[in-house]
Amino acid sequence: MIQYNENELDKELLNSDSNRKIIDKPGDSSWGQLIIPGKGENSSKTKKGMKLLIMASYRTGLLLLKTLVEFEKLYPDRLNIVGLITDDPLSPDAKISLKRRIWRFFDDKEKLDIEDAIIETALSNGIPCYTGAVKTNYGHSLIKKWNPDAIEVFVFGQIIDSPFISLPVYGIYNYHPADLLHHHGAGPRPYQDLIERNASTSRFTIHQLSLELDAGHVLGQSPDINVRYKNGELPNELLIIEDKMIVPMDFMSILLTKQLILNKENEIKGKIESFDFASHFTDDQKEELLEPIVSLENSKETPQLSSYALSLLNNLW
């Protein structure tokens, strides 16, 4: 039986570019790595504009990263993704609550493929990656070095502490696929909450990140999202619910990031307190979100940017 671990991941990463630098267990972190892109990767990166740190993992975190990488490619003088901090599901020492979170539905080979995909996406676009502990001297020094203006978080397995929360001038924001405004679905199992409440709809939430899990001030939410089949039944499979719940995420991330950039350009410092995401969705988008779930099977593929998100990106300014 093949054992999939960080050594296998390193081989894949270095096979793509042998000039990449991998530092094991950097500083006082007891797990993970700092991975530096090769010198030739994304030579067109301008390092101008708002400095954004992404803390994300898993296939849905990969969609967030892909969306914002595309944003930077289109507007390289307005957005600069300075780093990615991601989960290390292959390390037995990583304290990321694997058994409680969505990772529990994936075997080690699938975890390897997901981690490789998100790190490869970052590195090939000139973005350094860190997979170690954040509540450490090293984690705190790294964020000071990257010095982001803002941080966006989605599916991240560690508790984020005060040095991360207080540093970015324009705030730190968490994406959560549940209706937090009405106190539903907080914690690592938001889709289980839907099943237990026998809910018909929910909303995707973006909120300010706080020390208490999923308790930060809510900026705004998506329109209602139908989470049932055409026959009215609620899926028992959480990954099917997930596929529907994340549909508006890429569109919302573009809206949030644009507003953060505008705030920096206009020197409006501080966190965003409120954003009416739902008002930016067209009637067609709202109707799509309210359509019943079609697929009866789990999908473990990485979601792709929606046509709505791509259209928005190409018509931002």
| CATH architecture of residue range(s) 6-313 | 3-Layer(aba) Sandwich (3.40)
Lowest average pLDDT, out of 81-90, 198-207, 282-291, 293-302, goes to: 293-302
Q: What is the pTM of this model?
A: 0.96
* Confidence tier at 2 by pLDDT (50, 70, 90): low
Q: Per-residue pLDDT averaged across 239-263, rounded?
A: 97
Residues 6+ apart with CB under 8 A from 29: 132, 133, 136, 138, 139
CB burial readout 195-225, b (16+ within 10 A) else e:
beeebeebbbbbbbbeeeebebebbbbbbeb
Residues 6+ apart with CB under 8 A from 191: 177, 178, 185, 238, 241, 242, 245
* Cα distance between residue 314 and residue 237, in whole Å: 35
Instruction: Tell me: pLDDT of 297 over 90.
Output: no
Lowest average pLDDT, out of 33-37, 48-52, 232-236, goes to: 232-236
Sign, CA torsion 129/135/138/144: positive
| Residue-wise pLDDT tens digits, 134-171 | 999 999 999 999 999 999 999 999 999 999 999 999 99
| Residue-wise pLDDT tens digits, 254-266 | 999 999 999 999 9
| DSSP E strand boundaries for 86-148 | 129-130
Query: Alpha carbon of 223 to those of 114, 266, 279, 290: distances in Å?
Result: 29, 29, 8, 9
Tell me the three state secondary structure of residue 81.
Answer: strand
End-to-end alpha carbon distance in the chain: 53
Every domain of the chain and the residues it spans:
6-313
| Residue-wise pLDDT tens digits, 52-79 | 999 999 999 999 999 999 999 999 999 9
Q: What is the mean pLDDT of the chain?
A: 94
Place of tokens 């259209």: 311
Q: Per-residue pLDDT averaged across 293-312, rounded?
A: 87
Instruction: Tell me: pLDDT of 1 over 50.
Output: no
Instruction: Tell me: pLDDT of 3 over 70.
Output: no
Query: Alpha carbon of 70 to those of 66, 73, 122, 230, 314: distances in Å?
Result: 6, 5, 11, 34, 10
Tell me the three state secondary structure of residue 10.
Answer: helix
| Residue-wise pLDDT tens digits, 209-223 | 998 888 899 999 999
| Residue-wise pLDDT tens digits, 96-118 | 999 888 999 999 999 999 999 99
* Cα distance between residue 124 and residue 41, in whole Å: 5
Q: Which of 190, 194, 205, 211 is nearest to 256 (CA)?
A: 205
* Cα distance between residue 190 and residue 202, in whole Å: 10
Q: Tell me the percentage of the chain whose pLDDT exceeds 90.
A: 85
